[in-house]
Amino acid sequence: MQEIRIELTKSPKQKPAAQSQLGFGQLFTDHMYIMDYHEGQGWHDPRIVPYQPISLEPSAMVFHYAQEMFEGLKAYRTEEGRVLMFRPDRNIARAENSCKRLCIPPVPADDFMNAMKTLVNLERDWIPTEPGTSLYVRPFIIATDPHLGVHPSHSYQFIIILSPSGAYYASGLNPVKIWIEDDYVRAVRGGIGEAKAGGNYAASLKAQEKSDAEGYAQVLWLDGVERKYIEEVGSMNIFFKIAGKVVTPALNGSILPGVTRATCLELCRAWGLEVEERRVSVDELVAAARDGSLEECWGSGTAAVISPVGVLRYGDEVMEIAGGGIGPLSQKLYDTVTGIQTGKLEDSFGWTVEIK
Ligand code: COI
């Protein structure tokens, strides 16, 4: 593991007084982490420096061909002042898969973990403590070769920035309204849908704009071939409770393997619920909504945590779920996941990592 050089800021910023107004990803801490990659030299020169703009050639490949990946995870401060990260090993493993898919040299796992731990520890006073808040950790890698040929870059930067954040949705834990999109698609099998790549999110913007205009918080994507099977929501995976069973789309190559998705599955199985990872058609959902067997729906994601869905709209069909409120299983998952993340509940799964 490489030693990190640390340059402290000479002008620390004011920390936000009103944690309830933080919003998501709008404010950044005093420092950031950077490490460079050059072919023949590998990953080198890890450093923590004051948060600042980065300087790149206009020809840097990331600007032209989107050779980029990112991760998202959170750090929490417990009531006793301990700092916990939630399942960072999962994000590191997923980052490695994203890198492989995008021809980016993966960052060695121990350097990745050490980078996050050192930066979060340095910025521990920035971690907000009010319910629903956390320090959002955003690692990303960009291709920096100043070259317009289409090929994998020979140089990269791995950067981590930190953002004290509140709830992802302005509505907090209140149920969101989701638009099922049957025109635009996010990803296809064989594409980059299961990688955490910026390009997937660029592809999502047009439909997001459409759903915004209709008063919906996010888009639920259908598969890119038949536009018939449920995939995922803009920034989260999706779950249903249908006739007593927990159902979520199986990871089929175009769906992001969410860490909170895995957490929901493990919790539901541990609670003895029947859980199915399989293909779910939109027709099945509409039928379940009509006959009353669609009991609950929620999204899972690092930023969104557990986000109950109160309304799903597919064409002219408006499906109200759990009376538009928060279903009991969604609430139990939210309480359990956030309880473990913030150290209020015992972590019998060993999911949290203490930073010290
Ligand atoms: C996350 O949940 O961490 C994500 O990366 C979703 C993001 C696009 C806000």
Q: 255 C-alpha vs ligand 1 centroid, how far in Å?
A: 14
Q: And the tokens for 320?
A: 């109200």
- Look at residue 169 in the predicted model and tell me its pLDDT: 66
The string of pLDDT tens digits covering residues 85-110 is 999 999 999 999 999 999 999 999 99
Taking CA atoms only, the protein residue closest to ligand 1 atom 7 is 235
**Which residue type is seen at 225?**
V
Q: How far apart are CA 150 and CA 144, in angstroms?
A: 13
Q: What is the pLDDT of residues 215-231, one digit of tens each?
A: 999 999 999 999 999 99
* Residue 140 pLDDT level (bands cut at 50, 70, 90): very high
* Neighbour-count burial of 89, counting CB atoms closer than 10 A to its CB (0-12 exposed, 13-18 middle, 19+ buried): middle
Give the type of residue at 170: A
From ligand 1's centre to the CA of 281, what distance in Å? 25
Q: Which atom of ligand 1 is nearest to the CA of 303?
A: 2
User: Whose alpha carbon is nearest atom 3 of ligand 1?
Assistant: 72
pLDDT-above-90 percentage for the chain: 92
Q: Please give the number of the atom of ligand 1 that sits closest to the Cα of 196.
A: 5
Which atom of ligand 1 lies closest to the CA of 258?
A: 2
CA 70 / ligand 1 centre spacing (Å): 9
- Cα of 10 from ligand 1 centre, angstroms: 31
> Which atom of ligand 1 is closest in space to residue 234's alpha carbon?
8
Q: Long-range contacts made by residues 147-153, C-beta under 8 angstroms, separation at least 24?
A: 147/59, 147/61, 148/59, 148/61, 148/64, 150/65, 152/67, 152/103, 152/104, 153/61, 153/62, 153/67, 153/104
Rounded distance from Cα 136 to ligand 1 centre (Å): 10
pLDDT tens profile 285-304: 999 999 999 999 999 999 88
Q: Which helix (H) or strand (E) holds 33?
A: strand 31-38
Rounded to the nearest angstrom, the distance between the alpha carbon of 224 and the centre of ligand 1 is: 21
CA–centroid distance, residue 139 to ligand 1 (Å): 11
Cα(118) to ligand 1 centroid in Å equals: 22
Distance CA 142, CA 137 (A): 16
Ligand 1 atom nearest to CA at 70: 5
pLDDT score, position 90: 97
Nearest CA, atom 5, ligand 1: 72
pLDDT of residue 171: 64
What's the pLDDT tens digit per position in 341-350? 999 999 999 9
pLDDT at 135: 96
Residue 126 per-residue DSSP state: G
Residue 137 CA to residue 117 CA, distance in Å, equals 10
Query: Which of ligand 1's atoms lies nearest the C-alpha of 73?
Result: 3
Mutation test of ligand 1: which of 302, 305, 307 has the most ligand atoms closer than 8 Å to its C-beta? Answer: 302
What is the 138 CA–ligand 1 centroid distance (Å)?
A: 9
Asked if the model's pLDDT at residue 34 lies above 80, the reply is: yes
CA 338 – ligand 1 centroid, Å: 17
Q: Atom of ligand 1 at shortest distance to CA of 72?
A: 3
Mean pLDDT (whole number) for 322-350 = 95
Listing DSSP states for 104-116 in one string gives -PPPPHHHHHHHH
Our mutation pick for probing the ligand 1 site, out of 71, 74, 176, 235, counting the most ligand atoms within 8 A of Cβ, is 235
pLDDT level of residue 14 (50, 70, 90 thresholds): very high
Q: How far is CA 181 from CA 12, 120, 221, 232, 234, in A?
A: 44, 38, 6, 11, 11
What value does the mean pLDDT of the chain take? Answer: 95
Distance 317 CA to ligand 1 centre (A): 28
Query: Where does the pLDDT of residue 264 fall: very low under 50, low under 70, confident under 90, or very high at 90 and above?
Result: very high
Q: Are 210 and 204 in contact (CB under 8 A)?
A: no
Q: Which atom of ligand 1 is nearest to the CA of 25?
A: 9
Q: Whose CA is nearest to atom 6 of ligand 1?
A: 235
